[in-house]
Structure 1
């Protein structure tokens, strides 16, 4: 039965465990929806003849998923019964339930047997040939439509029901709500950033401008970078949980794309890490007294230091998502990210020049 519906309604045995009157009411409701163009795919268990007659098409599978019949049921199941009788099944009784008859004909009911290979009969039948031809025509029609130069793809032929920006808007809103409703993560991030910066700031409190003081200030910068590992360990477990849910639920259902999932998780971290940069800056920069080295450019150098702190927090967030995106567990991702960041600290700015390296002996 042709339909223009953009959605498929799937029901798994909707009448199981219900009395006959309720089952009939449900089937009648489904029939009304189908009459208005809604595509409905329904599995049903032991239907009565009255219920079975309401279905337009039937897909009958034998044990092992072998196809036995796919096509119209017909008025009072005439088309279906005619197919089985024409291919060697016994005649259907006048008052016999067509659903029970077809199961008995293929030997699927207790005490019934069949010497006919119904799967082979179907594959060689003109009904199967007609189905294959129709599917080929539909596939060819879709290919021609999609290949039309300058044509906009039909919404029904998209991989996802909603366009990219609609997906992005809805998923981003949801992820922001999830983070807001997870105060344990937010407060732990605040406690880590504020506590670490205060500890480092007051460990080198009111450092002067002597050579030793400058060394202490440089060491405080190095210690601040050590927060990287803890921030990574906070972000990765949350990402892994969200990714597992996406792979099990959203991706198989084609609700939104992987690009939307990744971008949403990256973007949601940026405002929180920006706020952490403000906390770290005030709890670390001023107690140590970096502004004393600024001379007459206190404001500009102070702002530059804030930008560097902010960049470090944003780098931590985006670098973490880069690493965990291709790692299955947070443990593996944390180990790799800490290793790579350690290499950044070791080699950044202290690479030996070619002239300073010892030459090779001849």
Structure 2
């Protein structure tokens, strides 16, 4: 049980992250060895790493969090029964029997800080790390009693055979004496001491007392070490390099490296412990449980679709087949797709919460592959998205008065469900490209502005500047509008009311039909004459049916 200690800025966390292979900035020099051998591929999942900030899925229970770690980080050769038995042993070891089935929750509305820290340690122990357990500031944010309780727990684990390396900042005298060894750093990442503490820290105190004042009887050894090592008058790094303790550590290191050929690691060296399909099954199940327990999210999705469906349906309630209502039929379809931004803003925070959980802990620990997270995030959205799409379509389609026949209504239903899936996937794509919820939601406005501008009704392709017409070819929403619009308007006989009729005069001795015959013989002509036999005022309706009307929105 080794402590990594030093003043702020000494590089404690940087060193810990480097040793745990969790650092991806800067240039790494030197070598990393485990028992004299290069680090195995399985290093990530065979070591535990307890973050300073306890990162958990708030909807999981304590037992479920430990069980997921045991299922995915222990080799598949170990039976499920043995894994679950080990989880129960860890729960008892950490004295969490009373909260085993409690939902972890969020800070301030769930488990307290000490219990969250115990869960963090338990999640790593459930994987039964046979190499190392790293802890980054495990006592940060805890009161004195809670901090001591956590360090005593670590001592208990160490006595049971677990190798532990942890960073710690200004521990009490009771806590520092529970450690076996200490690595003391000064700013710049330079070592001032590395070795055993000795009973009541006597060995390290004697080392520093040779070069500076002795530690007073009533003084906390940790405070003493930090105080004397912070002195700029003494070059502690040079003193360490010239000390017999340094030479002893170098000799020990050389002995270990020379014996590396005879060292072998037990267990599989695969990066991931279980097969891909098992990863997908377990992670997807957890995602569904997470959604199911978050009733606010599910009910919010249902309510959004209810209110938006009612607003659209009641605005265009039971449209007739006159020209004005034909425009309403098409515009109602456009209104049905501007719901996309609202639904996206609801989906994105959920995706980012799951992604941050994965990136912060599960990715580095090789719990499961990144594609498993992506697929599970998509799969869990599908049933809730389809349910929301069904509710919206039922309220909208029949209230507006589109065709009720099974083939036409069925096609419209299928298209709207596909549109709902498009919204969910586009929202998750946008969320995946940005680091925070705020950034993703800011970008969502621009993304949907472009998508909805070029979906057809707002700016038909013939009326769009040539430089932008290419976008219609790649926009799924344009094909959706084209398909569902044609389905809604096909074979719809359009009639013109009085204010919609256009009037022109026919020349003398000609009927309206003969005078307009050349126009109606043109391939792109639309509409019909209401009084073709008249010889004076001719009444013209711009569109004869819905097919002619829809053609105005399609490319020539």
Q: TM-score with structure 1 length normalisation?
A: 0.65
Aligned to 1:120: 241
Q: Partner of 1:67: helix, strand, or coil?
A: strand
Farther off after superposition, 227-236 or 120-129:
120-129
Q: Equivalences for 1:17-96 in 2 at 5 Å?
A: 33-34=160-161, 38-41=162-165, 55=180, 58-64=181-187, 65-67=189-191
Alignment of 1:219 onto 2:331:
yes
For residue 306 of structure 1, the aligned residue among 413, 430, 437 is 413
For residue 344 of structure 2, the aligned residue among 232, 251, 272 is 232
Aligned to 1:328: 435
For residue 6 of structure 1, the aligned residue among 130, 138, 142 is 130
Separation of aligned partners in 2, 1:115 and 1:203: 80
Deviation at 1:107, TM superposition (A): 4.2
Distance 1:156 1:216, change over 3 A: same
Separation of aligned partners in 2, 1:188 and 1:27: 43
Q: Partner of 1:290: helix, strand, or coil?
A: coil
Separation of aligned partners in 2, 1:255 and 1:299: 47
The answer to whether the Cα contact below 8 Å between 1:46 and 1:99 also exists between their aligned partners in 2 is no
Distance 1:105 1:250, change over 3 A: farther
The answer to whether the Cα contact below 8 Å between 2:283 and 2:376 also exists between their aligned partners in 1 is yes
Aligned to 1:93: none
Farther off after superposition, 222-231 or 232-241:
232-241
Aligned to 2:305: 193
Separation of aligned partners in 2, 1:302 and 1:340: 30
Distance 1:290 1:136, change over 3 A: farther
The answer to whether the Cα contact below 8 Å between 2:386 and 2:420 also exists between their aligned partners in 1 is yes
Between Structure 1 and Structure 2, the one with more helix by share is 1
Q: Equivalences for 1:237-248 in 2 at 5 Å?
A: 237-248=349-360
Separation of aligned partners in 2, 1:233 and 1:283: 22
Aligned to 2:530: none
Task: Kindly provide the CA deviation profile for residues 156-208 of structure 1, in whole angstroms up to 9, marking residues without a partner as x.
Answer: 562x5555444433332232222222222221211111121122123222223
Aligned to 1:278: 390
Distance 1:218 1:175, change over 3 A: same
The answer to whether the Cα contact below 8 Å between 2:205 and 2:215 also exists between their aligned partners in 1 is no
Q: Equivalences for 1:107-256 in 2 at 5 Å?
A: 107=212, 109-110=214-215, 117-121=238-242, 125=247, 127-128=249-250, 131=253, 134=256, 155-156=268-269, 158=271, 164-251=276-363, 255-256=367-368
The answer to whether the Cα contact below 8 Å between 2:310 and 2:395 also exists between their aligned partners in 1 is yes
The answer to whether the Cα contact below 8 Å between 1:233 and 1:330 also exists between their aligned partners in 2 is no
Distance 1:133 1:301, change over 3 A: farther
Aligned to 2:423: 316
The answer to whether the Cα contact below 8 Å between 1:324 and 1:330 also exists between their aligned partners in 2 is yes
Q: TM-score with structure 2 length normalisation?
A: 0.45
Separation of aligned partners in 1, 2:291 and 2:134: 33
> Relative contact order, CA 8 A, sep 6+: which one is greater?
2
The answer to whether the Cα contact below 8 Å between 1:5 and 1:39 also exists between their aligned partners in 2 is no
Farther off after superposition, 247-256 or 165-174:
247-256
Separation of aligned partners in 2, 1:171 and 1:246: 11
Deviation at 1:100, TM superposition (A): 3.4
Aligned to 2:206: 101
Separation of aligned partners in 2, 1:184 and 1:139: 58
Task: Kindly provide the CA deviation profile for residues 220-262 of structure 1, in whole angstroms up to 9, marking residues without a partner as x.
Answer: 1001111111111212233344444545454555544544433
Aligned to 1:288: 400
Separation of aligned partners in 1, 2:138 and 2:357: 27
Distance 1:32 1:342, change over 3 A: closer
The answer to whether the Cα contact below 8 Å between 1:207 and 1:216 also exists between their aligned partners in 2 is yes
Distance 1:133 1:289, change over 3 A: farther
Q: Which runs of 5+ in 1 are unaligned?
A: 78-95, 146-152, 293-297, 358-362
Separation of aligned partners in 1, 2:203 and 2:165: 20
Q: Partner of 2:461: helix, strand, or coil?
A: coil
Q: Which runs of 5+ in 2 are unaligned?
A: 1-33, 36-45, 47-127, 217-227, 468-556
The count of corresponding residues between Structure 1 and Structure 2 is 309
